[in-house]
Amino acid sequence: MGSHVSGMSELKKYFQRFGYLSIPDSQNDNFTDVFDTQFENAVILYQQKLGLPVTGKLDSDTISTITSPRCGVSDTAPRIHATKHFAYFYGRPRWDRGSPLTLTYAFSPSNMINYISLSDIRTVFQRAFSRWASVIPVNFKEIEEYESANIKIGFYNGDHGDGEPFDGVLGVLAHAFSPENGRFHLDEAETWAVDFEKQKSKAAVDLESVATHEIGHILGLAHSSVKEAVMYPSLSPRKKKVDLKLDDVEGVQALYGTNPNFKFSSLLESENASNKANMGLNCKSIKSTLSLVVAVFFLLLIIT
C-alpha cells in the first residue's frame, strides 16, 4: 500500500470514468501513480460490481476485465434487490406513456456507417428490439422521422457533443441514456459486424449484441454483475451475446411487467441446457488436464 506503480494514474482515470473513484479535489489536480487506500477500495467495489473474485488487488481476472471492450455507461447504479444482480439507473426511471406502450426508433440520416448495408443494420436492430418486446408488454416501431422518434440511433466518433466522448477502437463500444432520453450512440471507430463469416477482423464487434445491451439501458436497466447476462458491461471482440438471461428478464419485468405470451419455463429450460453444455466443456477440460498430469508423472518415472 502506498507504492508507486507506473501507469496507475491512467487506471484511476478509468475507475473515475465508470463511477468507482471521485474526481480530484481541484480541477488542477491529477491522479497520481500511488496505489493508495482509496484506489484499493475502488478495486474492491469494481470486483464486487462485476462479479469478480474480491481481492482488492489488480489480479489477472481484474486486469482482463478492465482491458475488455465495454459499454460507456457507469457501473455504479444502486442495486434494488439484495438477492438479485440486475440494477436500475438512479430514481428507477422508466418510459411512462400509457398502455399499451409503443416506442418508436429511427436511424440518424447523417451518422451511419457505410460498410454494412442499412437493410442489414435494420434487421439486426429489429431482432434486438424483438427480444426485449418478447418479455415485456412494450412494442417497438421503426419510423423515418428521426427527430420525432423516441429512440435515436447513430454512429459517432470521439467527442460528439453529449459529454461522453468515444475513445477509439476496442475501448468504449457504445452508450445509451436512461428513460426517457432515448439517445443511442455507437462508436463509429469500431469494426462492426453482423456476420463473422464475412467480417474476418480480429477486432470485429457484434452489432446485434451491443444493440441488445444498449436497448436494456434505453428501457432503464443499469449493468448486471452476472457475466452471462446481456446487461454485463463488457463484450469481447468476435463474441455474440444476444440471448436475454433470467437476470435481464427479471430486471426489465420489474419495471414494465410481463408480456402475457412470455413463458418463464422456456427461458429456464434454455438456461439449464446452456449450463449443462458449459459443465460438459469444463469436465472435458478437467479430464484433459488430468490426463496431461498423469502422462507427465509417468514420463518422470521412466526418466528417473
Query: SS3 of 184, please?
Result: strand
Helix (H) or strand (E) holding 152, with range, is strand 151-156
Q: Which three cell numbers stand for residue 92?
A: 428507477
Report domain extents, the chain.
8-67, 101-256, 271-304
Look at the domain 101-256 and name its fold: Collagenase (Catalytic Domain) (3.40.390)
Say what the pLDDT of residue 276 is: 60
DSSP for 18-86? TTSSPPPSSTT----SB--HHHHHHHHHHHHHTT----SS--HHHHHHHTS-EESS-S-PPPS-TT---
Say what the pLDDT of residue 83 is: 52
Say what the pLDDT of residue 80 is: 55
- 250 is an active site residue: no
**Which pTM was predicted?**
0.85
Binding site as annotated, residues for Zn(2+): 71, 160, 162, 175, 185, 213, 217, 223, 231
Binding site as annotated, residues for Ca(2+): 167-168, 187, 190
Which distant-in-sequence residues (6+ apart) come within 8 Å of 271 by Cβ? 245, 246
Question: Which residue among the candidates 10, 142, 180, 214 is catalytic per the annotation?
Answer: 214
Please identify every stretch of the chain with a pLDDT value under 50, giving residue numbers as ranges. 27-28, 82, 281, 283, 285-304
Binding site as annotated, residues: 71, 160, 162, 167-168, 175, 185, 187, 190, 213, 217, 223, 231
